[in-house]
Amino acid sequence: MSGRPLTPVVLGHNAFFGVNHLSGRAGRDRARAFHGPEPIVDFIHHAQRHGVRGLMLSTHPRSRAVCDHLRCDRRITDGLRVYPLLPYAQKYVLRANEVGLMRAATETLRLSPLSERIKLGRDALRLLLRRDTLEALRGLIRVELGAFRRLDTHAVFLHDAFTDLVLALDAPGAYEVYADCLRRQLRVEVGLATKNLPFLLARMSRWGVPVPHILTHVNSAGFQMHPDRDSCVAALRSVDLSVMAMGTLASGHIAPETAFTFHRGLPAIKSVCVGISRLEHLKPTIDALHVAGRLG
């Protein structure tokens, strides 16, 4: 089992950035409600007042402004653990389709603040130009996480689109570079997001590496649980895993008062990442977490 225990309840970020896996219109509506960093930070403060001590935040372009506000607000940062999810996949996918993956990565480095670019950009750009892709990952990871400096960053999770690609390609070298960069250079714990927990565990075993913290979907509907719900549930019965369950409400398909009871008897689940998009939903969701024993 990986390092320090995960924060029991973590506030998800999807609503802040207009992500809803069941309804694009609903996602856009919530994005308008969270039109800038101030309403996002205010919502995080409300969640903290109800006992939520963790925050999942992707490396979305708007995250930097949110982090800037968090650093200036001690009422929030005291006791708040942040769990970055990197990279913001849509940014790379869309730009890579337009100009190619290497140029998309190069642009990310060039768009970093000057101080970070001086420190990281020269070596990383040289590596990219030489097509030394695995080593260039180190620079890209450090640039992506630059927004989170001086925040209590416990563990960093690699986006499931990239995790599952590395697993499918059977590329332990890419994973080793990622894990080494987090542990040795940034001194944070390693996390992997995945939509196929059994396959991830099989690959980790084959590569002979310790299983890090895992972020994966867990819900009674089997929503985004691959290859199927029963296989994932069987894996979650292991006491030797450290899993943060996401998608627990299946994008609002499952009511909070019934969703969290599904986790009982699954000792691998050490934490729940739950997306809450409206203030009026905050208390019922937190109450349901209390009943399920997720909050003391």
CATH number, position 71: 3.20.20.100
Q: How far apart are CA 51 and CA 286, in angstroms?
A: 8
Residue 134 lies in a domain: no
Residue 101 lies in a domain: no
pTM: 0.84
How many structural domains is the chain composed of? 1
Residue 219 lies in a domain: yes
Q: How far apart are CA 12 and CA 84, in angstroms?
A: 11
140 CB-side CA count, 13 A? 26
Residue 168 lies in a domain: yes
Q: How far apart are CA 119 and CA 173, in angstroms?
A: 25
Q: Which residues pair with 192 in a beta bridge?
A: 158, 214
Residue 98 lies in a domain: no
Residue 178 lies in a domain: yes
Residue 38 lies in a domain: yes
Residue 162 burial (CB count, 10 A)? 17
What are the structure tokens assigned to 22, written together?
Answer: 């069941």
**Could you tell me the residue range of the domain that residue 219 belongs to?**
9-82+156-291
Residue 60, pLDDT score: 85
**Range scoring the smallest mean pLDDT among 37-41, 130-134, 144-148:** 130-134
Residue 86 burial (CB count, 10 A)? 23
* pLDDT tens profile 85-109: 998 755 554 444 555 555 555 555 5
Q: How far apart are CA 85 and CA 58, in angstroms?
A: 4
